[in-house]
Amino acid sequence: MFLRRKAGPASWLVVFLGNPGAKYDKTRHNAGFMAADLLEKSARIRLNRVKFKALTGSGTFGGEAVFFMKPQTFMNLSGEAVAAAMRFYKLPLERVIVVTDDTALPLGKLRVRRSGSAGGHNGLKDIIQKCGGDGFPRVKIGVGAPPHPDYDLADWVLSSLTPKELKELQQPLESALGAVEAIIKSGIDKAMNLYN
């Protein structure tokens, strides 16, 4: 599905958000990391080098040289890793694609956004604060809203997905990678038309 060749200096940065550590593996907040795991299988791009406080890898994706990263700083400090990589590769915000979970979307629904507020997401909030604004494209993977309004949002996003929910997420995770490829290859407008 995806072509892998040796990449030169990165022209795009793709950031998958999540929390490091086995206890967070199948939690809602780690939908971004799950997409990265799928990328490793489907595009054979290994995210196994530690750089910029992240697990990283690079390769050709969507016809461009892409640097992929899974920040290992914990979600709330994701901006540290992203800002360091942006500085190193001298990339503007619009060349940084963030793949993340979203509780405002039903489980498995996908949404591509050109930019926007953090919407209560602490990982996005930290990236906006540390990277100079909210003008970066994002691919949001719906993980569903808490079952009732009093439910603590932090508890909800750190709760594990059921085996049934994990199965339901497989196709949307593949679509998330397709959306990332479409942004790189054809631009954000085309990706939004295709995936929203």
Q: How many angstroms separate the first and last alpha carbons of the chain?
A: 21
* Helix-, strand-, coil-residue percentages of the chain, each rounded to 5: 40, 20, 35
Give the residue among 129, 139, 196, 132 at the shortest CA–CA distance from 173. 139
Checking 163-170 for CB contacts under 8 A at 24+ apart, the result is 165/107, 166/26, 168/107, 168/108, 169/31, 169/34, 169/107, 169/108, 169/141
In which residue ranges of the chain is pLDDT below 50?
Answer: 1-7
Token readout for 147 is: 């079952």
CA distance 100 to 161: 15
Return all residues near 100 (Cβ < 8 A) that are at least 6 apart: 17, 31, 32, 121, 123, 124, 138, 139, 140, 141
CA of 146: how far to CAs of 28, 30, 56, 150, 154, in Å?
Answer: 11, 16, 32, 9, 10
Element of type H or E holding 49: strand 49-51
CA of 85: how far to CAs of 2, 105, 127, 153, in Å?
Answer: 23, 29, 12, 30
Residues designated as active site:
29
* Residues 60 and 130 sit within 8 Å (Cβ to Cβ): no
Amino acid at 34: M
| Strand blocks (E) in 72-180 | 96-102, 110-113, 138-142
The predicted pLDDT at position 24 comes to 94
